[in-house]
Chain A
Amino acid sequence: MSKIKAENVNVYYGSKQALFDVSIDIAEKEVTALIGPSGCGKSTFLRCLNRMNDVIEICRVEGSIKMDNLELNSRKLDVVRLRENVGMVFQKPNPFPKTIYENVAYGPTIHGIAQSKEEMDQIVETSLKKAALWNEVKDRLDEIGTGLSGGQQQRLCIARAISVSPEVILMDEPCSALDPIATAQIEELIDDLKKEVTIVIVTHSMSQAARVSQKTGFFHLGKLIEFGPTDKIFKNPDNQQTQDYITGRFG
């Protein structure tokens, strides 16, 4: 079933066009990987899905992006509600310089999700457990989140993202700043999370895309060159450019 349906999305930074007529169907409760060389527009596309491009003043988005028949690219859309439903994990772990507890509790607090302290404690615990961080931090929830290791910080950010039970989580190269062990932990986590949420992940690592995703989209120079089941993209792509990129001939 399709969760997000993008049609003819064009993105401009001032007069420079960054995305050309991108149309893509993102399926529910699956991991969709977006790959491609640097500057190909995959992160730009990802940021259209939770309207983070609004922050960039010169950025203009055209076309239609529908999530469950809700038009995302509309002035009338309440971005606060959207972002409650579409969480995001960034390239560099960016926990707030607050305690671990406060980091996870922030989303539920501003969205008024927890009614009581006990409920909040429960949300924090569940989120940290889902992010496979609970056992490591349960005795030091009042320590500053930025004091954790890189991998732990990234898992804390994932816990923060899932604390408001989003339907979609966007991940922008979540492992590029992490070592192989931390990367493996995150990948395992992604595998677990996809039972409940739709995940869109931008990655530079083709092996990672192959490992975690069910669908893969290949971007090049702002265009979506090919999109399909991960197996097919990696084993038997239709397009020559995809073939060349997968086999490491460019990019």
Chain B
Amino acid sequence: MNSFKKNLLKKRYNAERRFQWYGKIAIGLALSFLAVFMFQIFSKGYSAFQKTWIVTEVHYDKELLLIDAESPSKDDLENADYYDVAYKAMTSLDPGLPEEEDRQLIQMVSYKYEAEVKDLLLKNPDYLGKIVPIKLTASDDVDQVHKGNYPRDIPEENRRVNDYQLQIYDMLNERGDILLEFNISFFTSPDSREAELAGIASSFMGTVFSILVCLAFSFPVAVLAAIYLEEFAPKNKFTDFIEVNINNLAAVPSIVFGLLGLGVLLAVFNLPRSTPLVGGITLSLMTLPTIIIAARASLKAVPPSIREAALAMGASNMQTTMHHTVPLSMPGTLSGTIIGLAQALGETAPLILIGMVAFVNTIPGTPVDPAASLPVQIYIWSESAERGFVEKVSACIMVLLAFLILMNLTAQIVRHKFEKKWS
């Protein structure tokens, strides 16, 4: 081999090695962005999965509860007056505190503390007349202090937790009366103005209903459209025009669909505002082209030899399509559908336009109840000023991501498990 050839060969190897390195660097960059992003969210959000409780003692005094009956019924307990009992449970933490300063103690727990005091007695009627320990939801300020998210060393006038409250907190913490437990209410409670009480139940259910409505509307329409266009429609200028338009539809910004939902579904058809029904239909406009494109691609991927085999056996076009082509294209269609739905899952703009951004503090039971959705919930919380919502935003993002990963994983499994391999 002469030196010129040798040189050429060496150059070729070097070029390939360089190219591989570019690729590796690109992948490394992408992964590190992802890692930073994930770290940000996890480090901020993980604490939202824990909840701070303040333990104190409550005396279910019949006199203070205004219960006269000797052996009170459930109704008596239900209608009793818990204000004083709850108030005493908190103020007993510092008996020396003058009455006009009591707000400082009350502010350390959530405003629902009275309801919590009531719930405990309703669950355990035999506590009546006894002094029992009780767990009260700490206010989001105390919660943030306990989780270490709130700086204690800034001047008192800039702090939402004042020196006196910190002193009580330290005393309780030393006694072991501050508990940090898994935050079940984050998953079971609807949204709330108070960070310590806010949960994702309403937005989660809203998302689930929206996605189901979206699936119910977009899947049949998209699959029928795809089958007709791919298997039956004549190939001419008109069907080409339709195809171009479907592809264009897939590229339309989602907010435009939101306007359509607002203008048509709400204004013309008078469907109930802020509901997953309207949200789902709006989202289905968005997923429709995605599913049509995926379904057509997977119909195209079915080898023509299968169609020929069926036709040559005397199957009609309809039989060929329904017995062979469509079943064989289903894995691809389904995974395309799931990916389309996953896109819809993260959509915020169209939902804001049709009013799913409203503050909803009930858990929707049907698709026609007002609801939020997970991405909109993220948006709502990120607008809130309280520090307690910062971790909730990240936690909500985590739930949304988990949902997305689950759906994409399903799509992958469907594709790999059921797709036929063509030799």
Chain A interface residues toward B at CB < 8 A: 50, 52, 55, 57, 79-84, 87-88, 90, 92, 94-97, 106-107, 110-111, 146, 157, 160-161, 164
Contacts and interface: CB of A to CB of B under 8 A. Distances in A.
Interface residues of B, number: 21
A160 B313 contact: yes
A216 B321 CA distance: 37
A110 B234 contact: no
B312 A88 contact: yes
Interface string B397-423: 000000000000000000000001001
Q: Is the interface of A mostly helix, strand, loop or mixed?
A: helix
Nearest to A54: B311
Interface of B: 234-235, 303, 305-316, 319, 323-324, 328, 420, 423
Contacts of B324: 96
A82 B312 CA distance: 9
Contact of A55 (B306, B308, B323): B308
5 contacts: A94-B305, A96-B306, A110-B314, A110-B323, A161-B312
Nearest to A92: B305
Contacts of A106: 310, 313, 315, 323
Q: Is the interface of B mostly helix, strand, loop or mixed?
A: helix
B319 A94 contact: no
Contacts of B309: 90, 94-96, 157, 160
Contacts, number: 63
A83 B311 contact: yes
B308 A52 contact: yes
Contacts of A110: 313-315, 319, 323
A96 B313 CA distance: 11
A90 B420 contact: no
A205 B380 CA distance: 75
A167 B316 CA distance: 20
A79 B310 CA distance: 13
A198 to B, nearest CB: 16
Given A92-B305, A94-B306, A81 B313 contact: no
B155 to A, nearest CB: 75
B314 A107 contact: yes
B308 A164 contact: no
Given A96-B309, A160-B313, 17 more contacts: A55-B307, A55-B311, A81-B314, A82-B314, A88-B308, A90-B309, A94-B305, A96-B310, A97-B306, A97-B328, A97-B420, A110-B313, A110-B314, A111-B314, A146-B420, A160-B309, A161-B313
A146 B308 CA distance: 16
Contacts of B311: 52, 55, 83
A80 B420 CA distance: 28
A90 B308 CA distance: 9
A82, A106, A160 interface centre (most CB from chain B within 10 Å):
A106
A160 B303 CA distance: 19
Given A97-B328, A110-B319, A87 B312 contact: yes
